Amino acid sequence: MTTRAWFRVHSFTGVITGLLLFVICWSGTFAVIANELDWLATPETRVAVGAERHSWGTIASAVRSTYPDAEINLLQAPLYAGSAAQVRVDFPNQKLVWVYVDPYTADVIGSRSFFNTQRFFRSLHYTFFGHRIFYYVVTVSSITLLVSLTAGLIFYKRWWRGFLRWPGGRGRALWSGIHKFAGLWSIWFIVVMVLTGLWYLVELSRSDFGDGKVSFAGSSPSSLHVIPQPTSDPALPHLPIDLLIERADTLRPDLRARQIYLNDQTAVLWGQSEHLLVRDRANQLHLDRRTGEALYNQTPHDYGLYWRWADTADPLHFGNFGGLWSKAVWFVFGLVLSGLVLTGTWLHAHRLARETGGRARHRWPGTAAALAVTLLVLAASVPYGVAEARRYGPMVEEVQRFPELAPGVAMVIAGWIVLTLAIIAAWIVLLWRPQTVLRETPTAKNAGSRGVKGNRRISCE
């Protein structure tokens, strides 16, 4: 293939899949900092930093004292020093509710629906709130991203020299330079997104068309290893949570538990140890709630390469392995990647306008069809999103109601939706609106020596 052919491939993938790819990257960018947005938007999540945190058992007791009818199913450690501990409970009329507890005073601050900023962006980014087929739509986009990156590096000759070449010029030349410069510095980030996106596609395909094993250990058929169930007498009372934590500290002194899942039979601890770049569930300890017996103990050392990568993909994809600093880097480069899609479309439209005197809007015959498919996917996500939000609301007179969101959370979600729709509208207008007419003026240097026809400067009005 010629250089021009590779350039057309790069342009084709940008225009045909650009809008859908933009929404996926744009939503994923905000999913990276969704917990931080919830911290800013929800007053109950913020606490004053104290001297020492209370134990898990004290926090659980505070929740039971405040909400006697609540059933605790998850204890989650504070994300930062100024964050509240979160306890997920089920009420008789509402499932999956976050209860926020000050870890320094053990005071219950309040409760909010499980549907928050984090849930909104994660669900949108993963599956557009919808059917499993949308998960394929999202993961397959990693292939188009790979094609676009490969084509761009091939047609951009000696691209490695452009890392220190600051964009210059004006108008389209400046934006073209910015597009190339930002694209070069984003190569590492794009490669990470491609690798992890392709991995999610492999996991999905294995689940649907392979052996169905998508986790190393668990109680479901999708697990490679089945975790033993407790054999203790169900009539025995549950051990206190702090006693279970002491037992866990004895068995796994290296484990820093971040999440404790509770059901009637077991307590499951997830967290971090000395292993780098793994999600919390890579380190698991399952205990019998009635006897404290260890049912299953897992570390990343138990893995082969396949399962080790399975627990590394998430931290790499969302950049949450290094706390706020790594998230900030991923957020910035997510914005850059989203911007590359938009600037690429703008450059494509203006290049065609320059070549055809302002008559051409788009080159590829499938542009309208691709745009229609993208808009259809976005439209289909609306009822799915409404249904998901309602699923977390209370049951009132046998009718599922919408959850009551924190005002700040509602404002963040609504503001993001409005901004996204405005960008999409601008994207569509950019491709279909007639471009400004190009005016050709002779350059002073060449008008006399070579003639106006031989050397022309093209400017845009």
Q: What per-residue confidence (pLDDT) applies to 354? A: 74
CA–CA gap between residue 409 and residue 121 (Å, rounded): 12
Q: What per-residue confidence (pLDDT) applies to 11? A: 87
pLDDT confidence band for 435 (50 / 70 / 90):
low
CB neighbourhood size of 436 (10 A): 11
Average pLDDT score over residue span 388-407: 92
pLDDT confidence band for 453 (50 / 70 / 90):
very low
CA–CA gap between residue 441 and residue 433 (Å, rounded): 24
Q: What per-residue confidence (pLDDT) applies to 116? A: 96
Instruction: For the chain, give the mean pLDDT.
Output: 89
Q: Which of 7-11, 272-276, 393-397, 431-435 has the lowest mean pLDDT?
A: 431-435
Q: What per-residue confidence (pLDDT) applies to 436? A: 52
CA–CA gap between residue 85 and residue 380 (Å, rounded): 36
**pTM, 2 dp:** 0.90
Q: What per-residue confidence (pLDDT) applies to 361? A: 64
pLDDT confidence band for 364 (50 / 70 / 90):
confident
CA–CA gap between residue 126 and residue 120 (Å, rounded): 10
CB neighbourhood size of 259 (10 A): 16
Q: What per-residue confidence (pLDDT) applies to 458? A: 36
Residue 460 has pLDDT above 60, yes or no: no
Average pLDDT score over residue span 228-234: 92
Q: What per-residue confidence (pLDDT) applies to 214? A: 85
pLDDT confidence band for 434 (50 / 70 / 90):
low
Q: What per-residue confidence (pLDDT) applies to 346? A: 82
**54-99 pLDDT, tens per residue?**
999 999 999 999 999 999 999 999 999 999 999 999 999 999 999 9
Of these ranges, 146-160, 284-298, 437-451, the one predicted with the greatest mean pLDDT is 284-298
Instruction: Tell me the two tokens of residue 372.
Output: 């229609």
Average pLDDT score over residue span 30-46: 97
Q: What per-residue confidence (pLDDT) applies to 452? A: 37
pLDDT confidence band for 360 (50 / 70 / 90):
low
**238-252 pLDDT, tens per residue?**
999 999 999 999 999
Residue 310 has pLDDT above 50, yes or no: yes
Q: What per-residue confidence (pLDDT) applies to 455? A: 39
Average pLDDT score over residue span 356-373: 75
Name which of 21, 19, 339 is nearest 175 in CA terms: 339
Q: Which residues contact 149 (CB under 8 A, 6 or more apart)?
A: 187, 190, 191, 194
Q: Which of 173-177, 181-185, 188-192, 320-324 has the lowest mean pLDDT?
A: 173-177
Q: Which of 79-88, 364-373, 435-444 has the lowest mean pLDDT?
A: 435-444
Task: Provide the CB-side half-sphere exposure for 407 (13 A, CA).
Answer: 1
As a whole-number percent, the residues of the chain with pLDDT over 90 amount to: 70
Residue 284 has pLDDT above 70, yes or no: yes
